[in-house]
Amino acid sequence: MNEIRRVAVVGAGQMGSGIAEVLARAGLDTIVCEKDPAALRAARGRIDRSLHRAVDRGRIGPTDREDTWAHLLFADDLDALADRQLVVEAVVEDETVKAELLGRLDKILVDDQAVLATNTSAVPITRLGIATGRASHVLGLHFFNPAPVMPLVEVVASLHTDPAVLTRIEAFARDTLGKHVIRSRDRAGFVVNALLVPYLLSAIRMAEAGHATPQDIDAGMVHGCAHPMGPLTLADLIGLDTVEAIARSLYAEYKEPLYAPPPLLSRMVEAGHLGRKTGRGFHPHRES
């Protein structure tokens, strides 16, 4: 089977930009696809800032930054992805949107062995795979934010995923991308978010009930439990809309009250206070 060298990411938000950077830094021919020209420009800026930080902090050298840019292309048309061997979907955390996109990509890809991977945080992979004609070549490849820094990738097979495809992509994530890989069964939330999101929701409920301020809740977990950041800062980083979407997927699957989005979270999402990406969440933020 041919080595994976031609890849693409669809979606140029925080996660899509980060995943594209990871792929390009690994020396892969990488296309970032996004229909919105403004989003593509923002992705370029986001990747540029991330690469400069990586150089400043000694994670890569100046030549590595130049090599990364040499492996990046930007496109606004899915047809540009026809020859890709692997496409990672990183659009909004909405099952309908993801399924429609994967169905379109299935018809565009020329190679019938090409793999469609979704970076979904919680949507069951089986539901997304059956939206295509290649369910055996659809799986979850879940990166964590910021993707160039966080070492973990969850690889998730559906009931239809070919075991050989799972093994191939697991080896690709580990050996080509240098990630630490864990496998999860196809359950909403997979491993990490099934554990993490109830913790974030508990912190939101605590703030909502007035038990403590967001600042004190976060300080308690940072200084009392040695967490690198507090739960509300982390929720802002993930994106409150994404946290709510994951919570809804978890609640739909398990019907456990601890997974239900608190009213405060839903109101903040409705108000457009989504965290770092909008500059306002539980804490004020500047674009990084």
CB under 8 Å to 285, separation ≥6 — which residues? 236, 275, 276, 279
Could you tell me which of 246, 252, 250 has the C-alpha nearest to residue 234?
246
Angle subtended at Cα 153 by Cα 149 and Cα 158, rounded to the nearest 5 degrees: 160
Catalytic residue IDs = 121, 142, 154, 193
Residue 288 in 3-state DSSP?
coil
Q: Which two tokens stand for residue 53?
A: 């930080």
Contact criterion met (CB below 8 Å) for 209 and 262: no
Q: How many of the other CB atoms lie within 10 Å of CB of 255? A: 9
Residue 178 CA, chain-centre distance (Å), reads 17
Q: Alpha-carbon dihedral of residues 21, 81, 189, 95, nearest 10 degrees?
A: 140
Token reading at 197: 């999101």
138-143 and 152-157 strand pairing: antiparallel
Phi/psi at 35 (5° precision):
-75, -20
Phi, psi of 74 (to 5 degrees): -125, 135
Phi-psi region of 201 (alpha: psi -120 to 50; beta: other; left: phi over 0): alpha
